[in-house]
Amino acid sequence: MENEDPILKALQAELDKQMEERNSRSVEEMDNLSPKDMFLILNFTFGEESPIGFKKTISDATLDQIPFLKLFWEYLKIIAASKELKLTTRGNLPRKVCLELYGKGIVKEDYIESGFVKLSKESDSVVLQSLKIIGNLSGITKKRNNKISLTQKGNKLLKSDKKEQLFKELFIVNCKQFNLGYYDGYSQEAGVQKTFGYTLYLLLKYGNEKRELNFYTQKNLVAFPFELNHFEDRWTTPEKQYEHCYGIRIFEFFLKFYGLINYQRERKFSKDEKIELQITPIFHEVFEIRTDKFRFKKYKNFS
């Protein structure tokens, strides 16, 4: 094997250096993140090298305030008590279980609370459907012979000292594996779920102040303008459709269920409805900015 040409080696080293500098340079359209930061935030959101992620330790006091975790815990207890929870002929949770779980008032849904939908079965509630689907996706529960039961993993996590692990597993499955578009009629190609890490970053930076949903919509569309290609100019503009899709998938039927945001509607269910949101105290007890992980080292100002 011939020795590597020193000139070519030096040229490659210089090209690598230039690429590294470019990928570490702040980009205004990405809210001053570098391409390398954005790559890690989107693809390794909760990894060790990501500039954002879970706090290393989440207190029991905080975990006890997370609605979806609390409701999921109650769901697991019902399954554990019955050994095998028999489903309806259509494979849904029994009516009695639906009424018992939702009746605890841990997670409330606007359509049910307003009387627009009367809860009588699993499909009437987004959160109840999510419990069952995410439980199976995470391997905490399993469905066999039209019955739901706990797996070995589920029995292990149904212990008070495992709540932090349970929460983190649920949350990651919820945002990475579960199809957040399951409840709406928008294209499954719409990328609001794929760019969730960036939303998490924006909330860490700007979320302390109450802001309209449109603030986060515009930040996303500046960073990912190609997302509008998934929305046709039909009953309203692609921008409005994107915002509605974004609001439903990320905020209303996900982060709100975990008690991580205050999500307020004005002029509910109308074309002119106004949505404002703000992170809750729980949010900063769960997630953190890791300033030492940013590739753009001068970036230090976070709220």
pLDDT digits (tens, 9 = 90+) for 16-57: 555 555 656 788 999 989 999 999 999 999 999 999 999 999
pTM exceeds cut of 0.85: yes
User: For a pLDDT cut of 90, what percent of the chain falls above it?
Assistant: 76
Q: How far apart are CA 197 and CA 42, in angstroms?
A: 5
256 domain-assigned: yes
In a domain, 104, yes or no: yes
Instruction: Please tell me the predicted confidence (pLDDT) of residue 3.
Output: 63
> Can you tell me the distance from the alpha carbon of 279 to that of 79, in angstroms, rounded to the nearest whole number?
32
Does 202 lie in the same domain as 123?
A: no
Q: How many domains does the chain have?
A: 2
Q: Quick one: 84 and 194 in the same domain?
A: no
Return the pLDDT at 19. Answer: 57
Q: What angle do CA 280, 283, 285 make, to 5 degrees?
A: 120
The answer on pLDDT for 1 being more than 70 is no
pLDDT bracket for residue 187 (50, 70, 90): confident
**Does 222 share its domain with 137?**
no
For residue 297, give Cα distances in angstroms to 8, 71, 184, 290, 293: 30, 41, 40, 11, 8
pLDDT mean over 127-148: 97
Q: Are residues 145 and 207 in the same domain?
A: no
240 and 267, same domain (yes or no): yes
Residue range 169-188: average pLDDT?
Answer: 93
Average pLDDT over every residue of 71-81: 98
Give the pLDDT confidence of 244-303 residue by residue, as tens digits: 999 999 999 999 999 999 999 876 555 667 899 999 999 999 999 998 888 765 444 554
Instruction: Give the C-alpha separation, 213 to 251, whole Å.
Output: 9
| pLDDT (0 to 100) of residue 14 | 46
Final residue of a structural domain among 140, 161, 178: 178
Residue 33 falls inside a structural domain: no
Q: Does one domain contain both 159 and 194?
A: no
- Domain residues for the domain of 116 are 60-178
- Would you say residue 206 has pLDDT above 50? yes
Calpha distance 227→95 (Å, rounded): 39
